[in-house]
């Protein structure tokens, strides 16, 4: 029985074309700056997003960490969403490894941070306080797309207060495809952006941090420090390049499947939150573990969360989506 895995878009298998690109990749020692494929990936994404340079790293967690550490010194502070990945899901790395204090703020229903509250959280220049240096946003934020007008306003606010602006763009391309714009329409507002190649884009490993030459120079030094200097990493970079060249537009299919799934579950009477991109959130309550077991027997893999997150990706077809709806229907009746 083939399994439909809806736990995350990180579970994708490399496609045949991607494996072929990996097999053929020209490689060298990237710590010596000699891997042509890594360099190609870094240049490709940086120029596509409107930045001077890019830096290939193994994970999005490292990419965000290096971004925060390159912007902020010890004793500095970054403003971030209470539910943001860079605050909540990265082991406190910015604080532990960078001595950077987070100032978390509640995330609004649309995935933004209220800019009035952001402004109020910026600390005055006073030796009692940490120095507020950076605002970190996330887009998509739990699958919600931040409006372009909001990004422009965030840019203006950070400029007025002398803050840097970082984007955790793990799913930047989901946002761009949903808005129907080039990704640089989004990234133009930021000083640095972290993009995951291993989420919906379907690469097995890798993220890229983009920014100015100075910022990426600092991040490159920090990458070595945290053990992220890789050698013949072109094999992995080739997968990322392939993803950026062939697997961006198809994200629209994931969004369509998520919409189909939401509609189907809604018709069955499940409490489904509005869907924007590739995630469907269902309010299940205490039946979550029973549902997980029931679906597993029918080849559908989900977590047991009471607020269940179902994620569509390149290994979930529209036929699979219909099968999932049928399995949920059977659970209603059993
Ligand atoms: C997945 C993810 C990251 C990075 O995660 P890694 O597993 O370290 O690659 C960062 N931000 C968001 C929003 C993510 O979903």
132 occurs within a structural domain: yes
Residues having CB within 6 Å of any atom of ligand 1 = 59-61, 64, 85, 138, 168, 170, 196, 198-199, 207
The alpha carbon of 276 and the centre of ligand 1 are apart by a number of angstroms equal to 19
Residues in the chain: 334
Same domain, 182 and 254: no
Q: Which atom of ligand 1 is nearest to the CA of 84?
A: 13
Same domain, 140 and 176: yes
Q: Whose CA is nearest to atom 3 of ligand 1?
A: 60
Q: Which of 203, 218, 246 is the last residue of a domain?
A: 246
The alpha carbon of 64 and the centre of ligand 1 are apart by a number of angstroms equal to 9
Mutation test of ligand 1: which of 83, 196, 223, 227 has the most ligand atoms closer than 8 Å to its C-beta? 196
Note if the bond before 140 is cis, omega within 30 degrees: yes
The alpha carbon of 127 and the centre of ligand 1 are apart by a number of angstroms equal to 34
- Residue corresponding to tokens 């967690």: 61
Provide the 10 A C-beta neighbour count for residue 250: 13
For residue 186, the domain's CATH number is: 3.40.640.10
Same domain, 185 and 272: no
The candidate with the shortest Cα–Cα distance to 98, out of 127, 131, 76, is 76
Mutation test of ligand 1: which of 139, 170, 175, 200 has the most ligand atoms closer than 8 Å to its C-beta? 170
Same domain, 268 and 190: no
Same domain, 285 and 223: no
DSSP 181-193: S-HHHHHTT-SEE
Same domain, 208 and 327: no
Q: Which of 230, 246, 262 is the last residue of a domain?
A: 246
Same domain, 233 and 324: no
Q: What is the pLDDT along the chain (334 residues), one digit of tens a residue?
A: 789 999 999 999 999 999 999 999 999 999 999 999 999 999 999 999 999 999 999 999 999 999 999 999 999 999 999 999 999 999 999 999 999 999 999 999 999 999 999 999 999 999 999 999 999 999 999 999 999 999 999 999 999 999 999 999 999 999 999 999 999 999 999 999 999 999 999 999 999 999 999 999 999 999 999 999 999 999 999 999 999 999 999 999 999 999 999 999 999 999 999 999 999 999 998 999 999 999 999 999 999 999 999 999 999 999 999 999 999 999 988 8
For residue 260, the domain's CATH number is: 3.90.1150.10
Are 304 and 270 in contact, with CB atoms under 8 Å apart?
A: no
The parent domain of residue 295 ranges over 250-333
2 occurs within a structural domain: no
Number of domains comprising the chain: 2
Return the sign of the alpha-carbon dihedral for residues 51, 279, 102, 90. negative
The pLDDT value recorded for residue 236 is: 98
Alpha helix (H) residue ranges in the chain: 16-24, 36-49, 60-71, 85-88, 93-98, 115-121, 148-160, 172-179, 183-187, 213-225, 234-246, 251-267, 288-297, 318-333
Backbone angles phi, psi at 92, to 5 degrees: 65, 25
Q: Whose CA is nearest to atom 4 of ligand 1?
A: 60
For 1, the token pair is 């029985």
Mutation test of ligand 1: which of 86, 173, 199, 209 has the most ligand atoms closer than 8 Å to its C-beta? 199
Q: Which atom of ligand 1 is nearest to the CA of 58?
A: 9
Helix, strand, or coil (residue 225): helix
Alpha helix (H) residue ranges in 11-162: 16-24, 36-49, 60-71, 85-88, 93-98, 115-121, 148-160
Mutation test of ligand 1: which of 85, 88, 201, 223 has the most ligand atoms closer than 8 Å to its C-beta? 85
The pLDDT value recorded for residue 334 is: 83
Query: What angle, rounded to 10 degrees, do the helices at 172-179 and 251-267 form?
Result: 80
Helix, strand, or coil (residue 330): helix
Q: What are 272's strand-pairing partners?
A: 282
- CA–CA separation, 128 and 171 (whole Å): 37
1 occurs within a structural domain: no
Alpha-carbon Rg for the chain, nearest whole angstrom, is: 20
Q: Which of 223, 246, 269 is the last residue of a domain?
A: 246
3 occurs within a structural domain: no
Same domain, 186 and 313: no
Same domain, 240 and 302: no
Same domain, 79 and 212: yes
Q: Whose CA is nearest to atom 15 of ligand 1?
A: 170
Question: Pairing mode, if any, of strands 192-196 and 164-169?
Answer: parallel
Provide the 10 A C-beta neighbour count for residue 159: 12
Q: Which atom of ligand 1 is nearest to the CA of 138?
A: 13
Same domain, 171 and 310: no
Q: Report which DSSP code applies to 7.
A: S
């Amino acid at each position: 029985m083939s399994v439909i895995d809806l736990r995350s878009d990180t579970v994708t298998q490399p496609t045949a074309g991607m494996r072929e690109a990996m097999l053929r990749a020209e490689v060298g020692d990237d710590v010596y700056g000699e891997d042509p494929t890594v360099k190609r990936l870094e240049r490709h994404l940086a120029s596509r997003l409107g930045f001077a340079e890019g830096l290939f790293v193994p994970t999005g967690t490292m990419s965000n960490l290096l971004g925060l550490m390159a912007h902020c010194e010890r004793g500095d502070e970054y403003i971030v969403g209470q539910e943001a990945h860079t605050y909540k899901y990265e082991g406190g790395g910015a604080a532990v490894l960078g001595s950077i204090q987070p100032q978390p703020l509640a995330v609004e229903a649309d995935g933004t941070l209220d800019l009035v509250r952001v402004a109020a959280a910026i600390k005055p220049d006073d030796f009692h306080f940490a120095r507020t240096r950076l605002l970190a946003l996330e887009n998509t934020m739990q699958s919600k797309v931040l409006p372009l007008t909001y990004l422009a306003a965030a840019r203006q606010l950070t400029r007025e207060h002398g803050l840097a602006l970082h984007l955790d763009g793990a799913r930047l391309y989901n946002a761009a495809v949903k808005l129907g714009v080039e990704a640089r329409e989004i990234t133009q507002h930021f000083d640095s952006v972290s993009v995951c190649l291993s989420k919906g884009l379907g690469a097995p490993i890798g993220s890229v941090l983009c920014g100015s030459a100075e910022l990426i120079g600092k991040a490159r030094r920090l990458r070595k420090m945290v053990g992220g200097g890789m050698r013949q990493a072109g094999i992995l970079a080739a997968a990322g390049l392939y993803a950026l060249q062939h697997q961006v537009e198809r994200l629209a299919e994931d969004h369509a499947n998520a919409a189909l799934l939401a509609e189907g579950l809604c018709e069955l009477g499940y409490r489904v939150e509005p869907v924007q991109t590739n995630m469907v959130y269902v309010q299940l309550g205490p039946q979550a573990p029973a549902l997980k077991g029931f679906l597993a027997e029918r080849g559908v893999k989900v977590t047991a969360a009471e607020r269940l997150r179902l994620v569509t990706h390149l290994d979930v077809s529209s036929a699979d989506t219909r099968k999932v709806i049928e399995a949920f229907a059977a659970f209603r009746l059993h």
